[in-house]
Structure 1
Amino acid sequence: MTTKEITVFVSGATGFIALHVVHDLLKAGYKVIGSGRSQEKNDGILKKFNNNPNLSMEIVKDIAIPNAFDDVFQRRGREIKVVLHIASPVHFKTTDFEKDLLIPAVNGTKSILEAIKKYAADTVEKVVVTSSVAALANNIDIKNNNLVITEESWNKDTWESCQADAVAAYCGSKKFAEQAAWNFLKENQSSVKFTLSTINPGFVFGPQMFADSLKDGINSSSGIIAQLVRSKTGGKFYNYSGPFIDVRDVSKAHLAAFENSECAGERLLLSEDLFCSQEALDILNEEFPQLKGKITAGEPGSGPSFLEKNSCRFDNSKTKKLLGFKFHNFRDCIVDTASQMLEVQNEALN
């Protein structure tokens, strides 16, 4: 079967990672059905992809409501061979963690799998769920320098303990949504035929698929770089740290997860290396003469010693072997991210 005969459903197709995935799928010759929250958003995406005949969009207003995906799969499930479930809530402006983070993430995952079971049990062969490093370790363990995280690791928070604050709740939402997917497959093996893989990226940096997306707000990881680009000389900044990956590699991994049969049943831990904000600042000051002297410098060169004390280690050699391609390094990733931001900023000023 050629890629032209395979239709891939992408939930949350209007998001940062998903736009890259849609681009890569179309480039590879797949037919793509994406979901977005509104007709306006969907029309915007179709326009961005020049009304590509291989791309169509469907409205899924709210992934958190029961049976959110039933309508789409009832009408179009027979066309779909691969499902990439990328939609999930990512925001920290809430105090009702169950209502705004935990329940939507879990329900969204369950409802897409239920829709497959009801309407596309014989046609959907592969499902890939976009999870996170947050499903592997909570926000305290990720800073523990005695800990090594692998593809087998799980965030040890409970439903109750992850409600300590918004960041812990976000991490918990990724864990419980991913567990819901694995449990669903275990319980429904006789009534569905799909294999499951998950993608577990660290902080995702890299350029937006379309530069004008930066005008509509920004994903939380890229927001870290935006804050540094906008910082002032001598200003304070929060030194974020953890594993990072370029969005272009996350996208490639989504395709590999269903194209390579060895990825079936696997959790793919996406991390090129550890990073901290100080290292990103060093790169910005070295690579962009227009920023040097205008943005904060922090303590140049102190990144590696900070990471040694403040970050756990990651061993994703299994994932790297399965995927078989080289990830973007941190410098290239930050330069490409910041170049695009500065370009859009300059356009806004002119």
Structure 2
Amino acid sequence: MPAETVLITGASGFIATHIVDAFLQAGHTVRGTVRSQSTADRVKQTFLEYVSKDKLTFAIVPDIGVPHAFDEAVKGVTGVIHTASPFEFKVDDNEQDILLPAINGTKHILDPIKKNGSQVRRLVILSSFAAIVDVSKGTRPGYVYTEKDWNPLTYDEAAKKGSSTVVAYLVSKKLAERAAWDFVERERPGFDVVTICPPMVYGPNMNATASIAHLNESSAEIYRLMTAKPTDPVPPTSFWGSVDARDVAQAHLKAYETPEAGGQRFLVCQDNYSYQQMVDVLREKVPEVKDRVPVGKPHTGLGEEVYGIDNSKSRKVLGLHYRSFEETVVDAARSLLELAKKG
């Protein structure tokens, strides 16, 4: 398809940086939103070649949760990739810190796009397997999740006092995605929507804002395993599916460029995995950390029977080809070792 100008929100994030890279490599011009000029300056260091050619610019959006946050940022673009959403498990207030920012952040990108609807043709939203999985069913042996599934948790359950931040995150992703589909149904805008729903996203860090002291949640999980002790217990697996950040980036690119993807939801997943499999890979393929990684019960696989995740739609419609879990973990570990050298 011809090169276009695309807005990518939350452009400094772990996954978003890979998405920016994918769109730039595909020839598109990217406008990224970040919270501050200092963040924009740091992100530029990752993409100096494109910045020098005016292929990458930035719009400052300090708070995605306020009305009209994206009014200026969407002007003059033909597509929007919306990734900005809170992913923090240490917060003071589930409603104020997780639920409302995620839901309102999506709502506040929809209205200005509609106003500029003669130009914007497609909005691709980074949703999550969190919007799909029913955690009340546990490991759910024999069940296979597809794009037709929806997490049944409610806003009230997430917002009530004492509710866990994990529940709040699950609900925030579901309701943010629902807000987009409800908007399309109600407003019938001149653009269409695609949602991408990955489970745990691992892979190398290429975002210039990352440091060993400030890692995204999934990278921090790997680093904790790389800096533990062989006798430490292998932590229990929470979500039994994973995918490489680079494949998630390709999913967004293909979702934007593929005409028949419009109006569809895609479950983007590499395969099932467990932390035991992760430590096995780290010990066997990254010798520098072998003596610090928990041993657990080597080569016991998932360790139990768990639900399946069907990625066939993403392969068929988007033409995705997934990296192996081993490649993802090794590349993630190598990038973390490089970050550790920088301090």
TM bucket, shorter chain? over 0.9
Corresponding position: 1:37 with 2:32 = no
1:205-224 residue CA offsets vs partner (Å, 9 max, x unmatched): 00012477234611111221
Q: Does the CA-based 8 Å contact 2:114-2:191 persist in structure 1?
A: no
1:226-276 residue CA offsets vs partner (Å, 9 max, x unmatched): 110011120124222411000000000101001001111111101110111
Q: Distance in 2 between matches of 1:173 and 1:210?
A: 24
Q: Distance in 1 between matches of 2:83 and 2:282?
A: 30
Q: Distance in 1 between matches of 2:136 and 2:308?
A: 13
Q: Distance in 1 between matches of 2:11 and 2:138?
A: 29
Q: Distance in 1 between matches of 2:117 and 2:213?
A: 37
Q: Letter of the aligned partner of 1:136 in structure 2?
A: I
Q: Distance in 1 between matches of 2:33 and 2:208?
A: 21
**In the alignment, which of 188, 199, 204 is matched to residue 202 of structure 1?**
199
Q: Does the CA-based 8 Å contact 2:128-2:197 persist in structure 1?
A: yes
**In the alignment, which of 292, 317, 321 is matched to residue 326 of structure 1?**
321
Which residue in 2 is equivalent to 1:249?
247
The TM-score normalised by the length of structure 1 is 0.91
Which residue in 1 is equivalent to 2:176?
177
Q: Does the CA-based 8 Å contact 2:121-2:190 persist in structure 1?
A: yes
Shift in alpha-carbon separation, 1:210–1:11, aligned structure 2, 3 A: closer
Q: Distance in 1 between matches of 2:87 and 2:318?
A: 26
Which residue in 2 is equivalent to 1:54?
55
**In the alignment, which of 158, 162, 186 is matched to residue 162 of structure 1?**
158
Q: Distance in 2 between matches of 1:212 and 1:287?
A: 27
Shift of 1:341: 1.3
Deviates more, 1:167-176 or 1:51-60: 51-60
Which residue in 2 is equivalent to 1:101?
98
Which residue in 1 is equivalent to 2:125?
129
Corresponding position: 1:113 with 2:110 = yes
1:288-335 residue CA offsets vs partner (Å, 9 max, x unmatched): 2232233220111223333x1xx3221221222112131011011101
Q: Does the CA-based 8 Å contact 1:212-1:344 persist in structure 2?
A: no
Q: Distance in 1 between matches of 2:227 and 2:44?
A: 32
Which residue in 2 is equivalent to 1:28?
26
Shift of 1:342: 1.8
Unpaired stretches in structure 2, ≥5 consecutive residues: none
Q: Does the CA-based 8 Å contact 2:15-2:249 persist in structure 1?
A: yes
Q: Does the CA-based 8 Å contact 1:138-1:171 persist in structure 2?
A: no
- In the TM superposition, 1:254-293 aligns within 5 A as 254-293=252-291
Q: How many residues align?
A: 336
1:39-67 residue CA offsets vs partner (Å, 9 max, x unmatched): 11012112321124111101100111122
1:117-170 residue CA offsets vs partner (Å, 9 max, x unmatched): 23x121100110110000001433353224321011100111122343110110
- In the TM superposition, 1:3-22 aligns within 5 A as 3=3, 6-22=4-20
Q: Distance in 1 between matches of 2:244 and 2:56?
A: 25
1:53-86 residue CA offsets vs partner (Å, 9 max, x unmatched): 111101100111122112333xxx1x21000001
* Identity fraction in percent: 38
1:167-209 residue CA offsets vs partner (Å, 9 max, x unmatched): 01101000000000000111111xx211110010110000012
Corresponding position: 1:234 with 2:231 = yes
- In the TM superposition, 1:306-317 aligns within 5 A as 306=304, 308=305, 311-317=306-312
Q: Distance in 1 between matches of 2:108 and 2:261?
A: 23
Q: Distance in 2 between matches of 1:142 and 1:340?
A: 33
Q: Does the CA-based 8 Å contact 1:138-1:156 persist in structure 2?
A: yes
1:13-34 residue CA offsets vs partner (Å, 9 max, x unmatched): 1101111111111111111111
Unpaired stretches in structure 1, ≥5 consecutive residues: none
Q: Distance in 1 between matches of 2:169 and 2:176?
A: 11
**In the alignment, which of 83, 86, 105 is matched to residue 83 of structure 2?**
86
Shift in alpha-carbon separation, 1:133–1:113, aligned structure 2, 3 A: same
Query: Partner of 1:223: helix, strand, or coil?
Result: helix
Q: Does the CA-based 8 Å contact 1:242-1:276 persist in structure 2?
A: yes
Q: Distance in 1 between matches of 2:260 and 2:110?
A: 22
Query: Partner of 1:197: helix, strand, or coil?
Result: strand
- In the TM superposition, 1:144-163 aligns within 5 A as 144-163=140-159
Shift in alpha-carbon separation, 1:236–1:339, aligned structure 2, 3 A: same
Which residue in 2 is equivalent to 1:345?
340
Shift in alpha-carbon separation, 1:216–1:35, aligned structure 2, 3 A: farther
